[in-house]
Chain A
């Protein structure tokens, strides 16, 4: 009621003058901002097109279908110098995704271990983890990348003196070379059998849990599921006559030829980004765990829950709610930092993109493409993490 009596004079005045109506004013300023923004964007776009026309530079996205003419050292899909610029950009995108996905997985695992380690009651472990965080958090990522790259190149031998590991693997400054798998006829059975195995294992588990509820008898669920998921493909594989051969690397005149190769550029970038981001993730994990009320731990302990189970079942699930939102930013950072790979010649999106830019001279188009792709990756990651956050959030009853 007091609310009404305060607002009453304001609405009264608004009927006399729009200027004093807070709602009208707020709409006015929002419209004004939008108009200014649109005008700014339009004038910039206009300026660009006029200047491009004046400088006789080719424009348009037609160049994407043209032959690129340059080679890329590392590609997940078939690519030669006869492929198009569009495909070159796709190769870069896939390489970026490869670093981002592997990096995010490793950074999360390492970050978790370090973060929990910092909270350890063991003095040495806690201090070592603190040193790790402080060292990696305070060095620029580019430096970490160079450190690993020059480290990898300096320590590892030339390919002619490669370190030979078991199973025909070779380690040299050209990377890790190992036998490539060549799948023969009937190899499709493997992925199919794995899928079937997973489904069967899932069905079995549901049945087993029901059975336990009913009779109280427990089955070794984990072991049986594992046996199904691994055993089924194995049987299928043998039934199809083992359709798998290997392409072994052999020493060529310059390099090892044949086999598959993980290049040092990828290893350096992957290690650097993982370990760098892990330091930040460790701090997020620590903050999350610290953020869970002490009462929760004490209550669990009072109920007689074992310390390991307290962490696993009581603390971590609650900590997750605090951890996930800042974790998202770290994932985005790692993905964007992967563009630093250009410094050590890793052909990620920015690298293949700027090479295409330079060979075609179409800077505006190429930068727009790269911006759009990075933005899409980031938005997709954000959406996924938001969904995951909503799922993990505390459901209050």
Chain B
């Protein structure tokens, strides 16, 4: 009996004490002097430590952008690698301030899990990868296959729904860690690898023989990936969301890391307001930051297009096309609400 109480107490203590983070995340962040950012344990192009141990990637750059907005210094960020399973507990408990870990925005995560999503930094969809030698042309031919998938993801649920609705049989091979899924696929434990298409491109690159694997044309789900924060702190939620929108807006204005200082002299009132050079502007201070917030973001990491191309687009080994993630003015979905 004593044992029961103790173990229950311990379990509760771990969860209880950790979630004692206070509501004013911005004050906490300022007090400790850095942003604690939850990222993937290692997904090429999105979040991965390089050979020197420095984190690099699309999601990592978002973390840096938040740090730049808050501190004016993109380096004031620390990373917590999280698995698909540990990420939500990490955010709920206050271990991380923001979760930028290619996480799909769904209604249950927005409500029952107690998170807030708004800005989507990557519009994705779930796909399948198979070895070329299997000669598969469509996902509808996959009946009877063993499918490798990461547990606790929307991917796992979409997979079950897709095969059920198309009346196909499959054999799930489920792992908690991405590395384990990759190893199992590489070892031939399963015939098919499924995750978001961006993840498939990244994973294929990490295989020993990328040319022998093909990504099937079907996209079976909508996966809007974006940063998440805890509910109940609107100020911090605003900061994180608008950091994302500032990246997109900068691309729309044509402001880059290189030309930002001359852009400061622009006469365009929209740009002047954006960069905080307009007289008596209150955009940044109303957000709880300085008026140079957007300047600092772009100076720190560049605009959305730069971040995209550098990490996962043409400037990277992944070579993912902009597709849905092009600006709205270029036929994509990336759209920032007006900054005024």
Contacts and interface: CB of A to CB of B under 8 A. Distances in A.
Given A55-B92, A254-B144, A69 B161 contact: yes
Contacts of A367: 11, 15
Nearest to A378: B3
B112 A58 contact: yes
Specify which of B17, B113, B142 lies most central, judged by the most chain A CB atoms within 10 Å of its CB: B113
Nearest to B85: A358
A81 B146 CA distance: 16
Interface in B145-198: 145-146, 151-152, 156-157, 159-161, 164, 169-176, 180, 184, 187-189, 191
A299 interface: no
A361 B188 contact: no
B155 to A, nearest CB: 10
A21 B60 CA distance: 66
A386 B146 CA distance: 44
Interface string A338-379: 000011110100010011011111011001100100010000
Contacts of B152: 354-355, 357-359
Interface string A78-94: 00111000000000000
Interface residues of A, number: 53
Given A255-B144, A361-B114, A41 B5 contact: yes
Given A47-B17, A69-B161, A361-B112, A345 B9 contact: no
B258 interface: no
B156 A70 contact: yes
A173 B16 CA distance: 43
A69 B16 contact: no
Contact of B176 (A80, A264, A354): A354
A23 interface: no
User: Which secondary structure dominates where chain A touches chain B?
Assistant: helix
Interface in A144-188: 150, 153-154, 158, 173-174
B191 A254 contact: yes
Nearest to A41: B9
Nearest to B144: A252
A16 B230 CA distance: 61
B89 interface: yes
Interface in A65-107: 69-73, 80-82
B83 to A, nearest CB: 9
A72 B85 contact: no
Q: Which of A44, A257, A357, A360 has the most CB of B within 10 A?
A: A44
B134 interface: yes
Interface string B3-37: 11101110111011101100100000000000000
B13 A44 contact: yes
Contacts of A72: 172, 174
A173 B13 CA distance: 42
B144 to A, nearest CB: 4
A71 to B, nearest CB: 5
Contact of B231 (A56, A82, A358): A56
B84 interface: yes
Residue from B152, B180, B189 with most neighbouring chain A CB atoms (10 Å): B189
B232 interface: yes
Interface string A8-47: 0000000000000000000000000000010011001101
Nearest to B151: A355
A221 interface: no
A51 interface: yes
A69 B156 CA distance: 8
B172 A255 contact: no
A57 interface: yes
Contacts of A361: 88, 92, 108-109, 112-114
A253 interface: yes
B85 A71 contact: no
B23 A54 contact: yes
B151 to A, nearest CB: 5
A135 B306 CA distance: 54
Contacts of B156: 70-71, 355
Nearest to B131: A158
A345 B5 contact: no
A359 B180 CA distance: 20
A246 B16 CA distance: 54
B15 A255 contact: no
B197 to A, nearest CB: 21
Nearest to A367: B11
A199 interface: no
Contacts of B5: 37, 41
Contacts of B230: 55
Contact of A48 (B19, B84, B143, B170): B19
A237 to B, nearest CB: 32
Contact of A57 (B9, B112, B172, B175): B112
A383 B234 CA distance: 53
Nearest to A156: B188
Interface in A115-148: none
B174 A355 contact: yes
A45 B187 contact: no
A252 B142 CA distance: 11
A310 to B, nearest CB: 41
A357 B88 CA distance: 10
A40 to B, nearest CB: 7
A51 B16 contact: yes
Nearest to B86: A358
A70 B111 CA distance: 20
Given A44-B13, A254-B142, 4 more contacts: A44-B16, A345-B176, A358-B84, A368-B11
21 contacts: A44-B16, A44-B17, A47-B19, A58-B111, A58-B112, A70-B156, A73-B172, A73-B174, A153-B188, A153-B189, A173-B187, A253-B144, A254-B145, A254-B191, A345-B184, A351-B151, A357-B85, A357-B152, A359-B157, A361-B88, A361-B113
